[in-house]
Structure 1
Amino acid sequence: MTRPYRRHVYREVPYLLNSRAGPLHHSPLAFAHRGADPGRENTMGAFRRAVELGYRYLEIDVRTAADGTLVVFHDEELDRATTGAGKLSEKTWEQLSQLRVGAREEFTEPMVRFEELLTAWDDVHLNVDLKDGESVTEFVRLVEEHEAHDRVLAASFNDARRHRVRGRLSRPIATSGGWAATALILLLGPLGMMNRLTGRIAEIDCVQVPISQGRIRVVTPRFVQRCHRAGLQVHVWVVDEPAQMHQLLDMGVDGLMTDDAEALAEVMRQRSVWPQR
């Protein structure tokens, strides 16, 4: 299967390798959602496996421990995915480092500091969902210290959190729109009022959205077209069925996030854009 011809013009963003000249130019990007291994989500074991399969983009979540350490973890509470209990924010990194992450009573992987993952590979890009307000300061410090501006994207449902990140960095990083920005595109776009969003759109580089939100269908051909006309890429989460992956890619979406690393890798291989690193 050949790559679909793209009629829209990408806004060039260093983080988004499909926006620049190179082997991925105008090709869809593949994101390993939390490492795309639900049995050990957000762990180095999951991330290594995804990278070995050919992924160049890892979608991750970060939260702040009691001592300020930025930890790669999704939930506010530790109970579901670790051998611990209670709020992550109430534990120090020393305490968290003793826990194990897993599922189905198979807890084998240690927790991961964001800095450890940031420095593990110099050609892997991190799509970072900032889960708490406290994470902004440490995230900015680590991006600056490791000069990782072109390898990270700051995502958050909270648009104010994204504003704080961009305002504190010495040079821009990629960002995606939060719920407010995305809702405005979804609601005002069909009314022909996208011009009113010029300021908001200029502050983001992509929208990262589910196929549907409740009863509302988000990802439609017209939604994708409106975003493209505004210079925004559309990345869709979380997609695990190959048929649906093909359908979305044929619609023109610019990236897919999955929990099934092998399935998305095979779809991208069929489209001659694999591996991506």
Structure 2
Amino acid sequence: MRAADHPYFDNDGPIALAHRGGSFYAPNIGRENTIAAFAEAVSLGYRYLETDVHATADGRLVAFHDDRLERVTDGRGAIASLPYAEVDRARTVGGDAIPLLDDVLDAFPETRFNIDCKAPGAVAPLLDAVARHNAYDRVCLASFSAKRLTQLRAGGGTRLATSAGPRGVVALRFTPHLVSRLLHSGAPVLQIPVTHELRGRALRTFTEGLLGRAHALGKQVHIWTIDDPAEMHRLLDLGVDGLVTDRIDVLADVLAERGHPLTPPT
């Protein structure tokens, strides 16, 4: 699939993605992946939000990054081993509940989501949620697991946009003769960091050559997670298609400087 063939990627200018709603934006600190954090990003004009999903022990799909509750809430335990009723009692430092993905999609019907499937148990509920909301045109599904990506593509079919998994990215960057594998993955976008940890070594993942090969295949390239304005400008100057950031205020200013201001809702 080429990015131009999927409505998710239809955007005027670079795609700005608010990482977990914008974790380092002052009003969102300690409130990542909550309705309140997403609302802050949308109020700044963000049309694309990044989030993560886990499934509870009884199969409810929640927007949450960690597999455990402790880091950002007053709850305890692994989400996969807890019933939703217990997860729902946890609160962030701002008093926010952990939202269901259903509630997130309902709350922001005009917003597009990059959704990272964090656990095997989340695959089926995620596909069900996308189908239930008929959200095929406004989601892109991602995972660090090649197996989960394969399952998501098999379950979602050609209507569903997915990102290239780590194996595809490494193949495209370091072994050009394996490009055809990525081409046949169906992924219209590479979502990568500037560097990639491989066998204990920090290797430079993003290069101009990689960008050129991806664009030749009709793929977009989104870089995560970029919070420094100079680095934002450098990557945009090179022609990357999207940036994922925790500093949603900084990226908004950078895009405005470059003639692509975000448009807050009226």
Give the Cα separation in 2 of the matches to 1:181 and 1:65.
29
> Which runs of 5 or more residues in structure 1 are unaligned?
1-8, 19-23
CA contact (8 A) 1:144 1:170 kept: no
Aligned-partner residue type, residue 15 of structure 1: Y
Once the two structures are overlaid, the 10-residue window that deviates more, 63-72 or 199-208, is 199-208
> Which position in structure 2 is the counterpart of 1:211?
194
> Which position in structure 2 is the counterpart of 1:6?
none
Secondary structure of the 2:212 match is helix
Secondary structure of the 1:59 match is strand
- Aligned-residue sequence identity (percent) comes to 36
Match of 1:59 among 35, 38, 50: 50
Aligned-partner residue type, residue 123 of structure 1: E
Secondary structure of the 2:149 match is helix
Once the two structures are overlaid, the 10-residue window that deviates more, 35-44 or 66-75, is 35-44
> Which position in structure 2 is the counterpart of 1:3?
none
> Which position in structure 1 is the counterpart of 2:40?
49
Give the Cα separation in 2 of the matches to 1:244 and 1:223.
18
In structure 2, the CA distance between the partners of 1:213 and 1:108, relative to structure 1 (3 Å rule), is same
> Which position in structure 2 is the counterpart of 1:80?
71
Secondary structure of the 1:175 match is strand
> Which runs of 5 or more residues in structure 2 are unaligned?
none
Give the Cα separation in 2 of the matches to 1:188 and 1:159.
18
Matching of residue 115 in structure 1 with residue 102 in structure 2: yes
Q: Give the Å deviation of 1:12.
A: 2.6
Q: Give the Å deviation of 1:10.
A: 5.7
Q: Give the Å deviation of 1:37.
A: 2.6
In structure 2, the CA distance between the partners of 1:172 and 1:259, relative to structure 1 (3 Å rule), is same
Match of 1:28 among 6, 10, 14: 14
> Which position in structure 2 is the counterpart of 1:186?
173
* TM-score when normalising by structure 2: 0.91
Q: Give the Å deviation of 1:256.
A: 0.2
Tell me the alpha carbon deviations over residues 86-105 of structure 1, each in whole angstroms, 9 at most, x when there is no partner.
Answer: 2111111111111112xxxx
Q: Give the Å deviation of 1:200.
A: 2.9
Give the Cα separation in 1 of the matches to 2:64 and 2:211.
30
Report the aligned-residue RMSD: 1.6
Give the Cα separation in 2 of the matches to 1:225 and 1:119.
37
> Which position in structure 2 is the counterpart of 1:21?
none
